[in-house]
Homo-oligomer: A and B are copies of this chain.
Amino acid sequence: MSVKTRTAVVDCDIHNAPRNEEALLRYMPKRWREARAAGGRLDAAVEARRETLGDRSYLGAQYPRATPRASRTDAWPPSGDPPASDLPFMREQLLDRYGIECGVLTPMLGAGEQLDLERGAALASAINDWQAAEWLEPEPRLRASINVAYEDGQLSADEIHRMAVDPRFVQVLMLIRTAEPLGRRKYWPIYEAAADHGLPVGIHFGGWSRGPNTGVGYGSYYIEDTVGMANAFADQLTSLVCEGVFDRFPGLKVVLIVGGIAWLAPLMWRLDRAWSLLRHEAPRLRRLPSEVIREHVWVTTQPIDEPSRPQDFMTLLQQMRMDDHILFATDYPHWDFDAPDRALPPSVPAALREAILRGNAHALYRLTDPAQTH
């Protein structure tokens, strides 16, 4: 079945994955390969994810399906390899089928979640080298995200400097649940390095908090995790804004990936009101929070958080006033995949549809810059 879409599409969230653990491990230095073979932490994390159907403990967000990385059941390639690990099948199922002109890879393989930070940094470098060699090299429609061991600012900055020379890497990747709120100083070297290279920092749904995954304890169901993740995004954006990170690094751009969009306008109202009453307490924040957000923050459509009445969707966009900062993403191959031809309600005008599906991503990631072509 072929699907016609009116406009070319840029997909800002594609999760590629290694065929098996060896496919990635061979990019790691020998020392870490051996540590891994002796039963490293990656093993346990991967196994835990495989066994999450029905069994949830105090670890935080768990995927709702037993397939690797919460994938659509039809995302298994004919080869039998795991979803999103087979480039020819991804071409067929995603890039060709939906006319994806350009797609940004966002592999989530645990680089930022290692207790051994140097192991995390080695894993991040391996993921980046693997993306360059096995995904960017054979497929010119793809761009990549620089993985970093984001719980250490300096190790992350080093990796950003190493990879930013390759223009096919168009952003730095973090996850939204972290050990501390993202505005705190430990993360500043990441923002500084990214801003220096003109790279946005993409922050994706997921990660592991070091305490309960809400501010009021552990919920019983995955449905609470996936709904509550929007609150993690709101908390992190609050921290970034209140700590004055965007004043400190004026070139910093942040992309909130797969966090939804509907919570943003109410958060801006609440922040603006609190700032008008309490600005003396957060001296590094010198402007109205909503102004800072509208200048420095981008969001992706997946999930679209569509209001129950379709006409409310345009109202939502009018409240946000961030039309040129909304990017399209499929979240392929995850279970809650959004198809480009169905992600936006019919009420979205053609020009805005084109901007969300393509133009905004071109402007942010400079996809049309000649320097971007390899």
Give chain A's interface residues, CB within 8 Å of chain B: 64, 176-184, 209-224, 226-228, 230-232, 234-236, 238-239, 242-243, 260, 262-263, 265-275, 277-278, 281-282, 290, 303, 305-308, 312, 315, 319, 335-336
B217 close to A274 (CB less than 8 A)? no
A176 close to B282 (CB less than 8 A)? no
* A190, chain B: closest CB distance, angstroms: 16
A227 close to B238 (CB less than 8 A)? yes
A218 close to B290 (CB less than 8 A)? no
A215 close to B243 (CB less than 8 A)? no
Residues of B within 8 A of A219 (CB): 181, 183, 235, 238-239, 242
A278 close to B180 (CB less than 8 A)? no
Closest chain B residue to A304, Cβ basis: B273
Most B Cβ at <10 Å: residue of A209, A214, A218, A232: A214
Closest chain B residue to A217, Cβ basis: B180
B234 close to A228 (CB less than 8 A)? yes
* A284, chain B: closest CB distance, angstroms: 10
Most B Cβ at <10 Å: residue of A184, A273, A305: A273
* A156, chain B: closest CB distance, angstroms: 17
Given B180, B242, B268, which contacts A218 in the complex, CB threshold below 8 Å?
A: B180
A265 close to B307 (CB less than 8 A)? yes
Residues of B within 8 A of A267 (CB): 227, 230, 263
